[in-house]
Structure 1
Amino acid sequence: MEGARAGAHPGRMTTVLNAAGEGVELVSPDATFTVKAHEGQTGGFDLFEVDIPRGPTVPPHATPWGVTFYVLHGRTAVLVDGEVHDLGPGSTLTIPPGAHHTLTVHTPTVQLLAISPTDRMRRFFVDVDAAVPPGTPVAEAAGALGEIAARHGVTVGDWPS
């Protein structure tokens, strides 16, 4: 990964720098996830910069990993287990493993940080990035996303028709 210090000792955290615009970019049909630091570098969590344009997103889904969002800019409503949370810059929201969630972007884009306590979220989006060509509409990617979700223990609600 970019920024890893040469000569690092195995099993020890190292100083890692990913400047603005750097990191491993993983593209999904409804967002771009840039890996800014992974659990091997941080000692236990993955950090993503997430850019989400306004438009269709995946239906409510539940993941076996938790995630915390910190909004950098834009506004979004996140539905978690039937409760709507309106988020703007500086807001945080923690979603526990197994909670059904989705979001709606209210501004042209939303940029947020996503922090996940394991590498499972990153592994999921690595698979999505490899299987779904960039620019594929969410509805057209439903089949591939469903297969990937099942492999990673993600449950997805009904796709809109």
Structure 2
Amino acid sequence: MTTVLNAAGEGVELVSPDATFTLKAGVTETGGFELFEVDVPRGPTVPPHATPWGVTFYVLSGRAATLVDGEVHDLGPGSTLTIPPGTPYTFTVHTPYLKLLAISPTDRMSRFFRDVDATVPPGTPLAEAAGALVEIAGRHGVTVEDWS
């Protein structure tokens, strides 16, 4: 491991149609997990989806309803939510923005979002990006419920 400082506004920014993921610390720096700062605008995100990696979210600001495996959870500042691998979930943000930290135990999350960032042009509306996102998801073992 090596010492790395990412000050406010620094890190590898990975843009998807429904959020911006800033990689603040990767597996090389931490010895095995990733830490992201995530900014999500108001509204729904991708449909329920399940990833082959687990993730823990810690809400810094904003409010969201999170549907996890059929159960709705209200998240606000200070809330944490841990989602095991293979568990379907999605968010709906109710405030202008939701800012949270995401911690994942491998580098699979950053590989997925690097692929999204490289494939989907910035500013592409979520509905228009659906086909590309489903294809990217398939490459990374992510399952996505039907887009309607």
Q: TM-score, normalised by structure 1?
A: 0.91
- Determine the structure 1 residue equivalent to 2:4: 16
Report the alpha carbon displacement of residue 14 of structure 1 after superposing the two structures with TM: 1.1
Please say which structure displays the higher CA radius of gyration.
Answer: 1
The structure showing larger relative contact order (alpha-carbon pairs under 8 Å, at least 6 residues apart) is 2
- Would you say the 8 A contact 1:26–1:126 is kept in 2? yes
Identity %: 83
Candidates 66, 73, 82, aligned match of 2:54: 66
Distance 2:17 2:30 in 1: 28
Query: Per-residue CA shift, 1:14-47, capped at 9, x if unaligned?
Result: 1110000000000000000000000111001000
Candidates 62, 71, 77, aligned match of 1:89: 77
One-letter code aligned to 2:127: A
Distance 1:56 1:105 in 2: 6
Q: Which runs of 5+ in 2 are unaligned?
A: none
- Determine the structure 2 residue equivalent to 1:146: 134
One-letter code aligned to 1:54: R
Candidates 82, 87, 91, aligned match of 1:99: 87
> Aligned pair count?
148
Q: Which runs of 5+ in 1 are unaligned?
A: 1-12
Partner secondary structure for residue 44 of structure 2 = coil
- Would you say the 8 A contact 1:56–1:138 is kept in 2? no
Q: Is residue 2:56 matched to residue 1:53?
A: no
Distance 2:124 2:44 in 1: 12
Partner secondary structure for residue 20 of structure 1 = coil
Output the aligned Cα RMSD: 0.6
Partner secondary structure for residue 122 of structure 1 = helix
Note closer, same or farther for the CA distance 1:84–1:56 as it changes in structure 2 (3 Å cut): closer
Report the alpha carbon displacement of residue 56 of structure 1 after superposing the two structures with TM: 3.4
One-letter code aligned to 2:28: G
Report the alpha carbon displacement of residue 71 of structure 1 after superposing the two structures with TM: 0.2
One-letter code aligned to 2:53: W
Greater strand content: 2
